[in-house]
Chains A and B, each alone.
Chain A
Amino acid sequence: MVAALLVATASFVRGLSGTFAGASDPNTALLLSKVAERDVVRSTAAAGLASLVKASVPGVELASDEIHMGTSMVVPGYDGERAGFVRGVTPSAYELHGALTLVEGTLPGPGEVAIGRLVARQLDVPESALAIGNSLTLEGSEHRISGRFVAPGTTLEAEVWTPLVPLRGLTQRDDSSVVFVRLADEKARKRLRLFCDRRLDLELDMVMSADYYGELVAYFGPIQRMAWMLAALIAVAALLGGANAAAASVQDRIQELAALRAIGFSTGALALSLCVEALVVAAFGAVLGLFLARLLLTGGAVRLAMSAFELRIDPQAVLIGFLGALILALAAVAPAALRLARLPIAAALSED
């Protein structure tokens, strides 16, 4: 159980941080409005800024105007509105966000959307409800689902993508939220910064993608720490329970163990045998726990605000779970082994 819990915690933490870190690209910068304080949803950037940047800054390979917004969606056949994340894009976005791969259907045209692999779980509806050809209502307008995409290890998978210009019409805004810019090299990055300093009227804040997503990971740091603290509390409870069970087990066999010491077995050898015994039992339990975790967590996704991320049961998470169980077992048996070592043989033999 402890192993399963440790694996669950590790996969949650690694999934959360990995998803945001996975969306970052060292050669990509974001242009946000200064007043948005690096909140991409609150940010507004002038329409056509991507074209202006591409034309003005040498070394810009791609620039993508995008609207990022959280909105209510309605899935036909399912009651109520559901909170989801929509990204309005131009064709440049598909080229710039290299992690994205269309796996089914076509790219969306006007009145259409493409949905990420985790959108159904984000909206809490079955996958079949968002099949190609079905519809999805956003901003009061029905959209046909034209394609499905994957973008492993990124936040994109919980998003709904639709063409930028029709979305502007629907939301009655004539701007974008952000411009993603792919830069050829370090010199291009400096020139983009120069562009922002020269075009003060645009009130742009330039942030590298790695920094932006790094700040998001840091923002969710308290949640990650809380998850680890919860796991630690349960591990302590398991440790105390295990120590109690080990003490009872040794007490039950105290005379036999004392007899072994009387005929020449060293205290170290007996302590070692207790440790091996505890390790074997813990390893067996840990393997069962790992199977349980695999069964329950594989493919699982966690909804977080308007996004979602997949639990990541990778070798590191399994190792944390398995080693954690073994270490707890050793720690639990230590007090019993210590008591056995300190108790005089005569006293041990006479114990009831």
Chain B
Amino acid sequence: MSVLALLLFVACGGSGPAATSPGAAAESEPAGMPASLWSDVPLPNPVEVRQARESAEDGESVVLRGTLQDFGELSTFLLVDDALDDCTEMGEKDHCATPWDYCCADPDELMRLTVNVEVLEDGIPGDWSFKGQRGLDRLTEVVVAGTLRKDEAGNMRLEASRMSLQ
């Protein structure tokens, strides 16, 4: 009877994770980030943020290449044009303790070459962060595909549908 109970316990324990996780790929999926968002293969034909600002229209589908500046607290992050130097690229070692804030760059240029990348859930960014997902960190170079939105003040945001490392 005891052996039977033990076997039943082991059997139930073994089937638990399989019941909550649809597959092996989903088990390694970090909480919050949709599996369909990430591509292990770099997305093809990306353009620079600067180019998108100059030529892309509101609502246009684009693939942007850039550097992840900083994470938002929802499912967002700021993407900066690769051409802009962060504080680690200023030629001095340990030049700045927070190089990702681009404090050494011209603020107007930084604003012009930055886009807020958002993953929308029911029309608003989801309540999860990119921080720590898929090894993403500040100053990681990424490629993001999605729909570009521009407002009257010239701010750009990208409603992301796919992303990968460069």
Q: Total interface residues on B, using CB and 8 Å?
A: 16
Contact B74 A199 (CB under 8 A): no
A189–B127 alpha-carbon span in the complex (Å): 12
State which of B76, B127, B154 has its C-beta within 8 Å of the C-beta of A197. B76
A134–B128 alpha-carbon span in the complex (Å): 56
Contact A194 B111 (CB under 8 A): no
Known: A187-B127, A194-B125. A201 touches B111 (CB 8 A): yes
Contact A199 B111 (CB under 8 A): no
Mark out the residues of chain B between 132 and 160 whose CB falls within 8 Å of any chain A CB in the assembled complex: 151, 153-155, 157
Tell me which residues across on chain B come within 8 A of A197, comparing CB atoms.
72, 76, 78, 116
Tell me which residues across on chain A come within 8 A of B76, comparing CB atoms.
194, 197
A245 at the interface (CB under 8 A from B): no
Question: Smallest CB–CB gap between A281 and chain B, Å?
Answer: 53
Tell me which residues across on chain B come within 8 A of A203, comparing CB atoms.
107, 111
Most B CB within 10 A of own CB, among A35, A187, A190: A190
B114 at the interface (CB under 8 A from A): yes
Nearest CB in chain A to that of B154: its residue: A201
Helix, strand, loop or mixed for chain A's interface?
helix
A168 at the interface (CB under 8 A from B): no
Contact A200 B127 (CB under 8 A): no
A193–B73 alpha-carbon span in the complex (Å): 7
Question: Smallest CB–CB gap between B74 and chain A, Å?
Answer: 5
Nearest CB in chain B to that of A37: its residue: B103
Interface string of A190-232 (1 = CB under 8 A from B): 1101100111110100000000000000000000000000000
Contact A194 B107 (CB under 8 A): no
Nearest CB in chain A to that of B69: its residue: A197
Q: Which residue numbers of A lie inside 8 Å of B, CB to CB?
A: 34-35, 187, 189-191, 193-194, 197-201, 203
Q: Which residue numbers of B lie inside 8 Å of A, CB to CB?
A: 72-74, 76, 78, 107, 111, 114, 116, 125, 127, 151, 153-155, 157
Knowing that A194-B74, A197-B76, A198-B116 are A-B contacts, what are 5 other residue pairs whose CB atoms are under 8 Å apart, sorted by A's residue number? A191-B74, A194-B76, A197-B72, A199-B153, A200-B116
